[in-house]
Structure 1
Amino acid sequence: MKGGILALTLCLLPAAAFAGGAFSTTPNGTPVLWTGNVTWRAETGPIKGGSDGNGGGGGGGGGGCQLTKSLDISNSQAVDIVRAAFAAWDSVPNASINIVEGPSLGTDVTFDNIEDFWVGTFFGGTVGSSVTAEPCYSGVGDCLNSVIFDSSEVPERSIVDAIQGECARYNLLAFAAILPQQNNDPPQFTISSPQLKSSQMVISGACVSPVIAPDPSCVGNPNFSSQCPAGGISLQDLQGTVTHEVGHYLGLDHTLVNKQNYINCVTGSGTCDLEDIPTMIGFFVPGANLSTLHYDDKVTFAKYYPASTMDVSGGKVIPGTCTIKGKVTQSNGTTPLRCEEVVARLNNDPSTAASFISGSEVRRFTQGVPGLSGTSGKTQSNCNPDTGQTCGDYEIRGLTPGTYHLGTHDFKGGGNLAGFVLEPCTPALADDAQLDNDDQMTVNCVANTVQTQDLKSN
């Protein structure tokens, strides 16, 4: 199996994030999701404390760092954190998934042996790993599906930095990557099957309180900050982070949903309700309890892993719930508009809001690569709708019956949203002020029915 990994992170600072759907889709628009057992395998080392074989537990470090004494998070505690994260998703109403804790990886994964347990490249692509995900698909060999704990406090031995880049340890609490089957057709590396059987994850203890000291060599780094947030993150923050990354491990993308609430929370202006921050938010929001799934998290997960579905007039529903679908158009009401987030709020309540990106599951010309133009890139024009589709199609399935307020918005404007992009579009649409149309109409969503409602952007 050729190609690169498809990775997402929970960022301490604004960075690329996506919304309301699957982590990735095939060019036909089919979500890439697990089939059969979802197996994960943890290493034997700690998240924080102990030794990584060369000064991981409190010795001196490079880059001028003076290291603080670590709060130990042992391997057994680390594994319990991961178990709790998987359990949160396993208990989603109307959903069904078979999560299995596989055998331990049998070793403490460190800077010295990471290439034997992480599928991908290191040091900016200059070094490759010695393993692949192929055994997970062929059934021959050792299927890893690694969950790795980076406990190193020595900058030169950071697993996070080795994979994500120098100084990334101050910015990425954790990250996960799905490993679908891909064609050897660079630069597209087209996903050849929507059946997912392999993922991997790294969890870092670098910014768990008490944090490692700032690294002077990271000052001025164009990609990452030079220090952890003041005071570090708590164990509750870490649990929420892992719950978020397990969502990616299972195939979910980032989300925003309650845009104005997010802006209020990060800018300190207006009312901030931390309970309205979804677990799959793309940025770290201090104080938000990401270990408790938001309505949007649950609805999205149940859509992709339903316990059952049934065919009704207009489409499919999860029994006892309802579906709202339609298309988004430009303000003229006729031209389909791809890459707008559609938000449905039950009784106009942000705590019961769910979202979907228009056109994200519509057929494309190619897989789409960021930075390329036209039908080769992640652009609005990379849309080749099949019969019966439009580039503005959306569908939110698994909703609690009731009256929903529907609206659309883009991911720009205020609250450091400049880093948000829309899967499958990168970069995001250009002018947020013209595109937001947050509360257009209401729809009575009756149990076991599909309600069709088209929407317009401004």
Structure 2
Amino acid sequence: MQKTETSPTQPRDMKLFWQTLLMTVFIVSFTIVCTEKAQAGNPLYMAADNTPLIWDTTQTIKYKVDPKGLGKLSYSESVALVQIALSVWENVADVNIKFEYLGPLNEALNADNWESVASNNIYAEAQDTTNMTATQSQQQHYVVIGFDNTGEIMTAKGSANATGVQSITGVLGTYEDPQFITSAHVFINGLYYNGTDNDAVDLNLVDLLAIVIHELGHTLGLDHTLFNYDIYQDILSGSIDSSNARFLPTMFPRFVQSTGEHIVSLHPDDIATLQWLYGDGATGTISGEISDAGGSPVETMLVTVRNTASPLCEAYSQSTSILCSDLNTSPSGDGQAYFNASYCLDGYQLGTYQIPLLENGSYTIDVQEIPEQFSSSIARFDYSVREIPGGAEFYNTLDEANEDTFAITPVNFMQYNLYNKDIVLASTVSGYGDAERVGYAYFETDPLFETTETNDTYCPETGDITEDMIAETLSQANFAISSDLQEDTQTPIGGCSLRPLNKTHKTQSLSFLCITLFALVCLSTSRLVKSL
């Protein structure tokens, strides 16, 4: 779920921000998830054995698209936009994800039928699943990609202000063995691209694409990530230029209008998480435990690992206790169950973190408090998150309960796992600046870190996917596929791999792979190893 907000000094009208995806959790024989909380160096949901829920990559991930199209886009243009977004995730190196397009839904979605259409296409409690494995379920079900052009679905879903909600994603997976995501639904608010500003300020195509990419990240099992949130806040206030949005990952929970060019290319945190979840097991991690001065693990702390050569761009984060299993919940009192870290099966996990990285190098580890305004953006956490006992703190080898919290010992990462990088939080404040957080300005001034932060590979100042490129692709799609479903009863179905033949670790380019007489525009953005 997203909100709109304004920034006083941004160049294009007002600034639009999206807030965390809205999901509601139902506890049945399977975990049907949709919660109003989330986080991306983190897995979105965990199974019974504390392993992340992901799709079975021996099968394609099938999807159907709302036949009415998104906003003022035709159906074929909308399909092309979705496929560009899918290609961004599919093109990540060393990840075997393949999507399969099945054509349009049988009926256009609206406030009356959206819930039944979405639930009927996922592994629901009412179905006979006695002899059905998760893999079989994935074979028989698909992702529903719907468009809410009036805001009525967003309102029915629980948003008081439909024009402030850009998108909703729900994910369904099996909790017991085997643990897989089996289906999902995504709803995009067409009010943001309908040709009028009477209901909501229209986005440009790059921004619209960025939103779809973000939501599909949730569909793949990625949660939100919160590092560099103070950059977002300063962009919002107008104290820094919006080009600094390049330091916000694709899975950051809010969005600044007219900065989509920085989101459509994946950033390191997004990529490393996807490779960790779906790769061959070669992705290295840094792990440890956060505890208080008395030795008790501390949940809901934001841990960030930063490359000293690029601390704002090459940053990776995870919240402690995020790796606890999802069905360790406490009742909310309204018929639903919300995860609370104190209900983790294994108490030691409350303070643990395990963060996947992309590059070899020298890294620092910092822990800080999650800002109150972002507390509902963290997956499976209750709305209240823990306050940090003393102040924000860095890892150092002689970590003690009360010391200079900004004494830093960098760790050398060489693509193998680093363990036991523990931090004992001080009980009193003795560090730099804000007691609860480490601001981005610190990394620009401390001599330990390089200050250039130009990093053209991962966080270029100017994105290379433009409005014109997307518009051209959509126009070609409109030519290739009839957008009038009543006239074109043979709307093609079937899959087309979005994966390019040659992929490199850091370079990416938008390439138009296939536009046939029958159907799909398969776009491949070889911007692979950059997380949005």
The answer to whether TM tops 0.5 is yes
Change beyond 3 A, Cα 1:237–1:305: same
Mapped contact 1:19–1:422 kept (Cα < 8 A) = no
Match of 2:317 among 319, 343, 355: 355
**CA shift for structure 1 position 26:** 2.6
- 1:87 maps to 87
Q: SS state of the match for residue 404, structure 1?
A: strand
Query: For 1:364-414, what per-residue CA distance to the aligned partner results, in whole angstroms no more than 9, with x for missing partners?
Result: 7x4314747xxx85334212328xx5421111124311011111122216x
Which of 154, 161, 169 is matched with 2:155 structurally? 161
CA separation in 1, counterparts of 2:356 and 2:413?
A: 11
Q: How does 1:242-261 map to 2 (within 5 A)?
A: 242-261=212-231
| Structure 1: gaps (5+ residues) | 9-14, 49-71, 121-128, 183-190, 215-227, 310-316
**What is the CA deviation profile of residues 128-154 of structure 1, one whole-angstrom value per residue up to 9, with x for unaligned ones?**
x999796895559962421112223xx
Instruction: Choose the corresponding residue for 1:32, options 53, 58, 65.
Output: 53
| Partner residue, 2:70 | 47
Distance in 1 (CA, whole Å) between partners of 2:214 and 2:221 is 11
How far 1:110 sits from its partner (Å)?
3.2
Give me the whole-angstrom Cα distance separating, in 1, the residues matched to 2:352 and 2:138. Answer: 40
Amino acid at match of 2:198: A
Going from structure 1 to structure 2, the CA distance change for 1:211 and 1:447 (only over 3 Å counts) comes to: same
Paired position in structure 1 for 2:44 = 23
Partner SS for 2:193: coil
Correspondence list, 1:238-317, <5 A:
238-269=208-239, 273-289=244-260, 290-306=263-279, 308-309=280-281, 317=282
Change beyond 3 A, Cα 1:3–1:447:
closer
Displacement of 1:286 in angstroms is 2.4
Matched, 1:344 2:313: no
TM superposition shift of 1:428: 3.7
User: In the alignment, which of 270, 286, 292 is matched to residue 324 of structure 1?
Assistant: 286
Report 1:95-114 matches (<5 A).
95-114=95-114
User: Matched residue of 2:167: which SS?
Assistant: strand
Is the 2:302–2:367 Cα contact (8 Å) retained in structure 1?
A: yes
Distance 1:176-1:132 versus aligned 2 partners, 3 A rule: farther
Instruction: Tell me the distance in 2 between the aligned counterparts of 1:113 and 1:377.
Output: 26
Measure how far apart 1:260 and its partner are: 2.3
1:176 equivalent in structure 2 = 169
Identity %: 21
Residues 107, 432 of structure 1: alpha-carbon distance in 2 compared, 3 angstrom cutoff: same
Q: How does 1:392-407 map to 2 (within 5 A)?
A: 392-407=351-366
Match of 2:144 in 1: 146
Q: Contact 1:32/1:193 (CA < 8 Å) preserved in 2?
A: no
Q: Measured at CA, do residues 22 and 370 of structure 1 come closer, stay the same or move farther in structure 2, by a change above 3 Å?
A: farther
Distance (whole Å) between structure 1 residues aligned to residue 375 and residue 276 of structure 2: 27
Corresponding pairs, count: 373
> 1:449, CA displacement in angstroms?
4.5
Is structure 2 residue 191 aligned with structure 1 residue 206? yes
Secondary structure at the aligned position of 1:213 is classed as: coil
Unaligned runs of 5+ in 2: 1-27, 395-405, 427-532
In structure 2, C-alpha distance between the alignment counterparts of 1:84 and 1:241, rounded to whole Å: 12
Measured at CA, do residues 192 and 301 of structure 1 come closer, stay the same or move farther in structure 2, by a change above 3 Å? same
What is the rounded CA distance, in whole Å, between the counterparts of 2:76 and 2:133 in structure 1? Answer: 26
Give runs of aligned pairs for residues 363-442 of structure 1, distance below 5 A. 366-369=327-330, 371=332, 378-385=339-346, 389-412=348-371, 417-431=373-387, 434-437=390-393, 440-442=408-410
CA distance in 2, matches of 1:208, 1:420: 27
Question: What amino acid does structure 1 have at the position aligned with 2:163?
Answer: Y
| 2-structure distance, mates of 1:456, 1:74 | 56
Q: CA deviation at 1:21?
A: 0.9
Could you tell me how far apart the structure 1 residues matched to 2:296 and 2:218 are? 33
Aligned to 2:34: 7
Q: Deviations over 1:284-328 (max 9, x none)?
A: 22233221111111111111111x12xxxxxxx43xxx3211111
What SS does the corresponding residue of 1:160 show, helix, strand or coil? helix
- Alpha-carbon separation, structure 2, partners of 1:201 and 1:341: 28
C-alpha distance after superposition, 1:96-118 (max 9, x if no partner): 22322234324333345434422
Q: Residue 57 of structure 1 corresponds to which residue in structure 2?
A: none
Give the aligned CA root-mean-square deviation in angstroms: 3.3
Distance 1:432 1:79, change over 3 A: farther
